[in-house]
Each structure stands twice: as C-alpha cells, then as structure tokens.
C-alpha cells in the first residue's frame, strides 16, 4: 500500500520538526511551482508493505496562515484531492483561533484527519491532558488522536502506524 500524507497546522506547532524526525533527515523546503506540480514530495517512508509519501501541499506547510486560506479557497473542495491522510498538528494544551481556522479549512475534506497533539513533553500536569484531549475530540470526528513529542521522538511510531492504516 502507498499513499500521500499532508502535515498541516498553524505556525510553530512543530510540523517541520515532526517531518524531520519521521523522515530522519533535515528537510530543505525549496521553492515550489504550484502551477506545474500539485504537491512537492518531501520524503518517502517505507515500513514493511506500507509506503507513506509525505507531501508539501501549497499553503499547508508554510508559516503563513493566509497562504492556507488562499490555497483552500482557490482549490475549494478539490483541495488535497490526492492526499489520502492529513495529519493535523496542534501544540499540546494550547488551542487558538489559528487552530480553529485550520480546522475550519479542513472541514471540507473527506479524507481521514489524524490529530497529532505535539509537545506533550512540556506538559507538567499530566492529569490535565485527558480532559484536554476530550475537548479536542469534540472538534471533529478525527480518525485518531495521538499525543506525541516530535522533539523527543515520543509516540512517533503510533502516529506512523495510524497513517499506515489509512493509506
Ligand atoms: P512549524 O512552524 O509547525 O514547522 O514548527 P517547527 O517544527 O519549526 O517548531 C517550532 C518550535 O517548536 C521549535 O522551536 C521546535 O524546536 C519546537 N518543537 C517542535 N516539536 C516540539 C516538541 O515535541 N516538544 C517541544 N518542547 N518543542 C517542540
Ligand atoms: Mg515549519
């Protein structure tokens, strides 16, 4: 099985860190030509019979929320048409209007959205995590919700396995 995976989220939640640690390499995002290529392949991760192709979807990966807006508005419901799974990254206990905006843009998407709750290494009060995850679970019918730390490489395997299930 193989398929395309897009990692989305507001700036600073740890998308680049996550990609770098999943792919085990430092990514250099070069300039794109959206007119000629829908997606830029960032890397391919092969794990047994599963190949996940991580792509940079225009406006989805850069630290400019308005670019996401522009892209999604332009492409409307055909946005991410050949993406099989979306990984929506948020920053542990913080839920902001910028996250809400990304969620809103994703609402048109039919493909499974996995919520990656990043930076859990920063959480001091572990008891607070469960109610927070419960709150997040009501935001959308997420395919899965996975708390992780991209920086410390905690729980990256469950995320990759979840991605594999939807390819
Ligand atoms: P992006 O804008 O979504 O691509 O976010 P970056 O990957 O550039 O990360 C933004 C900041 O968050 C950087 O300083 C990262 O080192 C930090 N960061 C990313 N992942 C983690 C994590 O799991 N734990 C902690 N504590 N910091 C993280
Ligand atoms: Mg980045």
- pLDDT given for residue 50 in this prediction: 87
The answer to whether the complex's ipTM is over 0.90 is yes
pLDDT of residue 10: 86
Kindly compute the dihedral angle of the four CA atoms of residues 105, 162, 164, 110, in this order, to the nearest 10 degrees: -30
Query: What percentage of the chain has pLDDT greater than the value 70?
Result: 74
**Which residues keep their CB under 5 angstroms from ion ligand 2?**
15-16
Q: For the chain, what percent of residues have pLDDT higher than 90? A: 43
Give the mutation target among 14, 87, 99 for probing the ligand 1 site: most ligand atoms within 8 A of CB: 14
Distance (angstroms) between ligand 2 centre and the Cα of 111 equals 23
Quick one: 63 exposed, middle or buried, by C-beta within 10 A (0-12, 13-18, 19+)? exposed
Asked whether the predicted pLDDT for residue 143 surpasses 90, the reply is: yes
pLDDT band for position 136 (50/70/90)?
very high
Residue nearest to atom 18 of ligand 1 (CA): 14
Stated pTM of the model = 0.85
Asked if residue 79 lies in contact with residue 29, where contact means CB atoms within 8 angstroms, the answer is no
Give me 90's structure tokens: 């948020």
User: pLDDT digit string (tens) for 28-60?
Assistant: 544 444 434 455 677 889 888 889 988 766 555
Give the residue-averaged pLDDT of 125-132. 91
């Amino acid at each position: 099985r193989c398929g395309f995976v897009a990692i989305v989220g507001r700036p600073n939640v740890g998308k680049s860190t996550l990609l770098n640690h999943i792919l085990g390499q430092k990514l250099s995002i070069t300039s794109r030509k959206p007119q000629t290529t829908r997606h830029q392949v960032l890397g391919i991760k092969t794990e047994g019979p599963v190949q996940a192709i991580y792509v940079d979807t225009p406006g989805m990966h850069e630290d400019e929320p308005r670019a996401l807006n522009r892209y999604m508005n332009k492409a409307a419901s055909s946005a991410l048409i050949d993406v099989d799974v979306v990984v929506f990254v948020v920053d542990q206990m913080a839920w902001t209007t910028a996250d809400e905006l990304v969620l809103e843009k994703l609402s048109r998407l039919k493909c499974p959205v996995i919520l990656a709750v990043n930076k859990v290494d920063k959480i001091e009060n572990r008891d607070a995590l469960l109610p927070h995850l419960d709150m997040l679970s009501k935001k959308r019918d997420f395919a899965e919700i996975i708390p992780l730390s991209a920086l410390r490489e905690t729980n990256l395997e469950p995320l990759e396995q979840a991605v594999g299930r939807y390819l």
